[in-house]
Every structure is written in structure tokens, then in C-alpha cells.
Structure 1
């Protein structure tokens, strides 16, 4: 839609009306900053509640101090504060509403009233819940201190929500009046013993959360300057625009205009809107926390800082001689936006080119532009197909340097090289991408960028493309190594932590909390003194024998000879690795490495370990069904299987039918299984040619499972538990499966919880089940760590690992 509006400056100077072709700006927009404030307020609210629950004595002391301090207030002042505060909390919002109505801003008042009503409903509902029998007793006691008062003050909650929703805090005079009214009212509530310190804090946070939530849900008035305001700002810079039209937003979400000037030139104008500064803030915060300080960007900048950053990068790139659109001027547009005016160059992004149009000459130009930037220590940081353009003469032009860095360190420069290598490889293949880079940058510089070829270092667009071609980064590395076979590259860790690490920490913390909760209900001294440690000795022997069984199992699936002693030591070494890695991952890695050191090729070693894992999985399932059947027949003399076993079989059947019936699921599962057990079947066929190896592998698999079951059964008997061997076997097999799937080291937390729950369901008292599981984990997880470390050190010293 074309908007025909005459700018005020144009009218004053007698200039002709300029038509700005742009869609009508929406009257209301949802600001990302409001969503961020809403989420942040909820986080603070939750943190305050948890802190109050954890520090109840401190909070009680604070409440006593507050009551003692406000109790000294003279009665006259207390009564006056109550009268004035109660009236002001109602009068100030009404006065603000009247002022806004006179300024024809009734929508803001309506939004504030909606927030106030919503806050009333929420605070009233929370009060009723907290005061009811279903509410948490400790929190109710902290909020009311045993008095007949509102946990959350409904009037204050509504007033704060209203003030937040109408953005009263941005008006200094009204903000001061509102704070004075709230302060007087809170003082009156304290002197009358009608509020607590925690209640006032939660009232304020709930009111703010409702206000910000209403702001984001309904939206705020759009204060973005229209195209006519952009033209007015350009006139102040000395330009004479005669036409303008809105273009597609850039990759950062900034508005773009193509403006024609009276002298025949064209301008590309980028508009930075203040309300867009917080867009994508959660992703940037996550990256900032996850990546090290050298690679991360600031999560959010002020409008002024963003303007200065882009302008400085543009001027520095021009001075370096790089081919970027020339920056001709910058200006703020009121208080809500700023613009950057660039010379217009008719170009096409490389993303829009066919792969056949990306010639060797074009690749060379791309790397030459990067080299010009890097010689002046400038990092572009967004070298993708949408920021690399080609003009009509076939010359490369770099755009979108807003995220760039001046005086960049070597790490950022290497990231540029890695990012462009990865992008070009998705378009022209790894070989051409590396060859074109080597022709301009040289093999040494490419080798320096080798550690940066990590998915975390690349942009989201490139990571998405690489998911479809998972071998591409490896192909790039191989091409670079072929150029510099003797290159010594130091590993560069870009991540502070991995998401799996965060999950492990959270799950471990939860497991520790559950474990400590269980231990608080157990009298350890009494249990330890009354335990039958003869059964504890049996458990220790069974735990040790499990490592011998694991070694026998591995030997059975390797046609080559393996010494039993060192194979057992390798299994102990795996127990030490389990302290920092999930159970299955640590065992597979150690065994594969051990086989490679014994002279077995890597592919064959992986196949051998995969074969043992596959047979172990089948044995696990068969034993689970067998012991489940035995458990069912022990409960009843009938030969029919138990209901639990029937439910398990039916569930497995349904799961298989779903996998086979849904094509995407079927393809996903088949691909995963094929990748996991590639080469396993031929290796199994080799093993089947030797009856001795078959007996050794199968017997080792069965003995390994039985050793763990005997260990757990002995731990149960050590504490006086009376549960059948078959029931303990079912509990172990099910709990071990859960532990293997858990991402925590050694299944920590998941194994304890599942085994304790299983033994309790099997009929053991909770204290005995918890004690037995703790002893079992000490025998099989914690105690083997020390001999595991010694075995790992010994095998590494003798080049066996």
C-alpha cells in the first residue's frame, strides 16, 4: 500500500510531496522486551519463593525486625499514612488515566484496566489457594505468620499491574507519585500488622508479572517512525529524496528502504528500531552463556551502541579497501529509531545464485575480500550466502557487517574462515571450497582454522544445512589435512559447557536431592550395625566377578586372542570412565580403544564391540521376560504368564507396530540401527564359525547379568529383605535398562531411583530398599573406581589403551 504523507520538513521548505511505498505499520506490536521482562519476573518470583523456603529462620527474623521498626511509628503518623496511602493508591492511577484520556490515549488506559482486573483475579485465586488446606503449609505460615491477613494484597497487586501495563514507570513525575503512594500504603499495612515482608515482595512481583504479560499479550502502541519520518531525517543529512519504497527486512530484522535522490543516486537505508533490540535475546543469552568470552557477542545493546557499532565497522571496512556499500550518513529518528544510509549497489545475494553460477573466479573474489578484512584485523562474523552479494559486473560485495568486530583476535578471524569454508562446501563441495581458499589464503592459514570447524562455531543457517550432510565437516578437515599432512593443531574449546553437561548437572542434582530425602528417613547407624555382612561379602565377590564375566563376553566376540588379565583390567578401566560418562558410552569407548591397541583395525573393533552389545541387548530382553514369567508363576500356581508380563509384551508389540506403520519413524529407527550396528552381522558370522567362541561369548553375557542380580539380591538379604530371586532379577533388569538410557554418568540418579522404586513395589519396606540399593551402587559403581583408575593408568603406560 502506498502512503501519501507530506513530511513536516518537506512542507516547510516547499518541496514536493514524496510518496513512500510501504505497507501500513501495525497500530500495535508485541515487543520482545516485554516478553523478556515477563519471563525474568517469573524467574525472580520463583527464586524468591525457593529462597524463602530455604531460609525460613532468617526470614522470620527479618519479619520480627520489620514489625519492631514499624511498631515504633507514632499512632498519628500511622493513621495518616493509612488514610493517605489507601487514597493515593487509587487516586494516582485514576489521575494518570484522566491525563491519558485528555491526550487521546484511551487504549493505554484500557490496557491498564485489563491488567488490574487480571491481577485482582490472580491474586485472589492465589490467596484462596494458599489459605486452603491444599496450599503449602510452610509458605502459608511465612506469608501470614499465623495472622488473619491476605498473603498477597489484592489492591496493591492490581495497582502495580496497572502502573506496569500503562508504562507509568517511564514518566518520572508519575513514577515518583506512584512510589510515594505505594510506600505510604505499605507502611500503613506494616503498622497495622496486615502484611508481611515476604507478602509485600511477592505482591510486587506478581503485579509486575501480570503487567508485563498483559503488555506482551495485548501489544503496545507502535512507536516505530514511518517512512515519512525516515525521509525527514535524510533531509537533515542534506539529501533530497524524491521517491522511497520499503524493501524486505534484512537478516537482523531491521527495516530497509530504497530511496531515490534528486541527483539520480539511490540510497539503501537501514532503520534500527528500538523495540527490535531485544529480538532473539534468549538465543543470544544462551549463546553468551554457553560460548567462551572471546567468541560470544553481547546479548543486547542500546540503540545508540548498535548504531555506533555498525557505523564504525562500515568505516573501518571502507578504509581497509574491502568492497562494501559505502556508508554516507547516520542519524537518529526521534527516540525510537536510528538510520544508516548506504550507497545503493544493484546486487544479488549468493543464496539466490544457482550452484552452477558460483565459478572459481567468484570463489577467489570472496576469499580476497575476506583477506582484505583480516589484514586490518576486521572480522565479518556472518559470512553466509545472504551477506555475500554479486553485482552486475560479477564482483563480490559484502553486506550486513553489523555483527562484525574491529581489532579482532586470531580466534574470530579463524571463525570467519571456518564459517565461509562450511558455507561454500554446502554449495560447491568440500574439495572446491578448500582449494579456492588455499589459493588465496595459503595452506598454513587454512590449517589454523581447522580447530574452528565445529558446528557450535557456525551460524544457524549453516548448522541447519550441515544436518542434512553430516559428513561435510569431516570432508573439509580431510581436504585441509591433505594440504598440510604434518600440521600440528591445538584443540580450541569454544564451549564453556555442552547441553548434555547441563542436563547431567540438573539430573544429578535432582538425584542427590531424592537420595538425601531418602537418607533422611533412614537410621544408617542402626541399619549398619544390624546388617548381615556375610551377605555383603557375597555381594562384593559377585561385583568383582561381573568384570571377569564382561571380559569373557568381549573375548567371545573377538576371533583374535585376547589375554584374560588385561581384558579384565580394561573392564575395570571402563568403571572409572563411567564416573564421567554414561554407562554404555564409557564401556564402548574403552573396549573399542583396547581392541585397536591389540592390533585390530578400527572398523573391526567397532563391529566386535557392537556385536557384544547387540547380543547383550537380546540376552537382557530374554532374561527380563524369563524372570518376569517366573515371578508371575510364583504368585500363582497357574502356568499362564503374569499380567505385568502380558502388558509388557503387548506394549512392545504396539511399539513395533507404530515403528513399522509410520514411515518417518520407520526410516529414523532403521537408519539409527544401521549406523549403530553397521558391520556387526558379518562379525557375528565370523564368530559363529568357532563353537568355542560362541560358548565363551554367550556364557559371558549370561554370567555378567547373573553376577549383577546376585549382587543386588545379596545386598537385599544383607539388610534383612525377603524378596524372591526372580523378583530381584526383574527389578535389576528393568532398572539397568533405565540407567543405560539416562544421560548421567553411570546412570547416576536414574539407577538408584528405579531400583529403589522396583524393590519397594516388590514388597520391601522403603528403608530396606534404599539401603540395599545404596550398598549395591557402592559395590558396583563407587568402589571399582579406584582399581579402575589404577587399571587405566597401567594400560595406558603399557600402550594397551
Structure 2
């Protein structure tokens, strides 16, 4: 048997530079610009939102200058505790243990994403990506997200109803909606429910996907509630989150001398946030301010002072953490945590 030899004209080894030059450029450089763009995108969005709301920012900082600083520090502390409460609730909605420090950093970054994208979508996308990187299957992470949203909604509405029962005169509900707006609102909600039910019943693929998701979600919820620590974290965090938010608004009200009882301010906050929960604006910017002002006026506060309190409150809870949150979001993307 004879062995054929390669011609002497062909080199036995290709230089590394020659091999790299012959391969497609995208294999070496295609991924880098995308990740860099994702890291810089939150900062660009912060700049755009800040320019759009520069008048609100100027007015809010002006009101903070005349406020009582101890109460402002209390509002800042309550705002920081909301990220801890969100982290506890996220962990409580999932059986698998998540890294605590990364989970807390992710909630801080998710808050910034939530203010830059339509309400709920930013935080949900960040947390889904985080759980995926942590090795949680998509079905389980989606179920955990749905359980988190359900628990937080139940806790918020439950707190509002409980406070309205204890303080029935805290809020004049008739002033929250314009006259004659209740009927059209109920018709719109009823129509949306009917459309959703019709799609669910008539479209087989949608029905199969929904039922499969519900089976997974119910199984995950059952597993969570068989572990007392997870159930306590889920519901304790769900009730703590809106309480810390309401406490922050009440502290700002005290800082600016709003003549409304702090518990009545909490009722106004819960009523306003429940009312705007379905408004698809980035972080509720604009809609939340309007609803809070109307709610505080309905609770007995003067319109001018209510406006000052809301603007100062949104500076503390939205605008001050927005840039650090965007930087954290970019860092987490760069470090491949999300």
C-alpha cells in the first residue's frame, strides 16, 4: 500500500492570523457590539425620559429643598426596603434557591427597567432572564413570575379593602373618577373579559397553551406552599412591598406638611396604584402622578400641597434611583448575570 504525500507547495500548518482571516468575521466580532449596545441602552433611555420630564424634575427637586430632611430620610429608607421586599417575594415564588446578592441587585435593576418600559414588562423581562441564567426552566420561571404578580395584586387589593373597612371616611371615592365614568369603565372591563374568554374557548392552540401553563403554575404554587419558609417569604414580601411604598408617601407628606393623616395617605396611595395598574405607560410615569394627586385631594389634602408631595415622592422613588439602577442593569448584562 502506498501513502500519498501532500505536495511540498502546501504548508503543513496555517498561521493563526491566516486562519482567523479566512473565517467569517461575524464569528469573532458578531456578539460584542450587541452586548455593548444592551449595556448602553438603559443609559440612553434614562437620558430620553429625563429630557421629556425635565419640568417635573425641576419642580420635584424644588419641593425637596423646602422639606424636612428627617422625614425624607425615612422615605428613602422605605424605598430601599421595597427592593428587599421584592427580593423576598421573588424567592418565595420559586422553590429553587436563588443567589441572594444577585437577586437583590437584579431587583434594583428591574426597578429601573420598569420605569423605562411599559409597566411590569421591564421588571418581568429582567427577572425571567435572571432565573433562566440561574438554570430555572422557562415553564417554572414563568409560573414563578405569575405567582409573584398574583400574590402582589392580592396583597395590594386586600390591604386597600382592609384599610377602607377600618377607615371608611379616609377617601371620598366619588372624586377619584369623573361623573358618569363608572358605567363606561365597567363596560370596557366586561368587554375585555368577554373577548378573552371567547378567544380562550374558540382557539384551540391558545386554550391548550393556557391550560398547560395553568397546570405548571398550579403545580409550582402547590410546591411553594408545602414549604413554610417559601410561603412566608411569598406572602410576607407581597404585603410588605405596598406597605413600604405607602409608608414612603406618608413620610414625604409629613416632610412637606400635608394636612392628611398618614394612614389616610396610605389608603390614597393604594387606591391610586390599583386604579392605574392596567395603564400601559412606562413605570406609570404621568398616570401614577395624576392618580396620586387626585387620591390625595380626595383624602382631604389641598391640591397644591398634594401636587408637591407627589412630585417629591416620585423624585425619591423613581428619579434618584433611575441612573444607578440603569448602571446596575448594564453591569448585570455585561457580567452575564441577566
Correspondence for 2:94: 558
Distance change in 2, residues 1:579/1:632 (3 Å):
closer
Correspondence for 1:174: none
| TM-score normalised over the length of structure 1 | 0.32
| Selected match of 2:305 from 746, 750, 768 | 768
Quick check: which one's helix share is greater? Answer: 2
Cα RMSD after superposing both structures: 3.7
| TM-score normalised over the length of structure 2 | 0.71
Quick check: which one's strand share is greater? Answer: 1
Q: Which has the larger radius of gyration?
A: 1
**Structure 1 unaligned residues grouped into runs of 5+:** 1-485, 491-507, 636-641
Correspondence for 2:288: 751
How many corresponding residue pairs?
Answer: 279
Q: Distance in 1 between matches of 2:276 and 2:189?
A: 26
Structure 1 residue 712, shift from structure 2 partner: 0.6
Work out whether 1:612 is the aligned partner of 2:148. Answer: yes
Q: Distance in 1 between matches of 2:287 and 2:265?
A: 17
Correspondence for 1:778: 315
SS in 1 for 2:136: coil
Is this contact kept in 2: 1:582–1:740, CA < 8 A? Answer: no
Distance change in 2, residues 1:598/1:735 (3 Å):
same
| Selected match of 1:703 from 232, 240, 247 | 240
Correspondence for 2:197: 666
Work out whether 1:548 is the aligned partner of 2:70. Answer: no
Structure 1 residue 738, shift from structure 2 partner: 4.3
| Selected match of 1:796 from 312, 333, 337 | 333
Is this contact kept in 2: 1:556–1:694, CA < 8 A? Answer: yes
- Where does 1:589-628 land on structure 2 (aligned, <5 Å)? 589-628=125-164
Work out whether 1:732 is the aligned partner of 2:263. Answer: no
**Structure 2 unaligned residues grouped into runs of 5+:** 1-26, 32-48
Is this contact kept in 2: 1:756–1:769, CA < 8 A? Answer: yes
Q: Distance in 2 between matches of 1:749 and 1:554?
A: 27
Work out whether 1:583 is the aligned partner of 2:119. Answer: yes
Q: Distance in 1 between matches of 2:200 and 2:292?
A: 28
Distance change in 2, residues 1:715/1:675 (3 Å):
farther
| Selected match of 1:684 from 221, 225, 231 | 221
1:204-251 Cα offsets, whole Å, 9 max, x none, are xxxxxxxxxxxxxxxxxxxxxxxxxxxxxxxxxxxxxxxxxxxxxxxx
SS in 1 for 2:258: coil
Q: Distance in 2 between matches of 1:676 and 1:581?
A: 28
Q: Distance in 2 between matches of 1:533 and 1:723?
A: 19
- Where does 1:360-399 land on structure 2 (aligned, <5 Å)? none
Distance change in 2, residues 1:607/1:489 (3 Å):
farther
Q: Distance in 1 between matches of 2:322 and 2:290?
A: 21
Distance change in 2, residues 1:742/1:677 (3 Å):
farther
Larger RCO, structure (CA 8 Å, separation 6 or more):
2
Structure 1 residue 663, shift from structure 2 partner: 5.6
Structure 1 residue 515, shift from structure 2 partner: 5.3
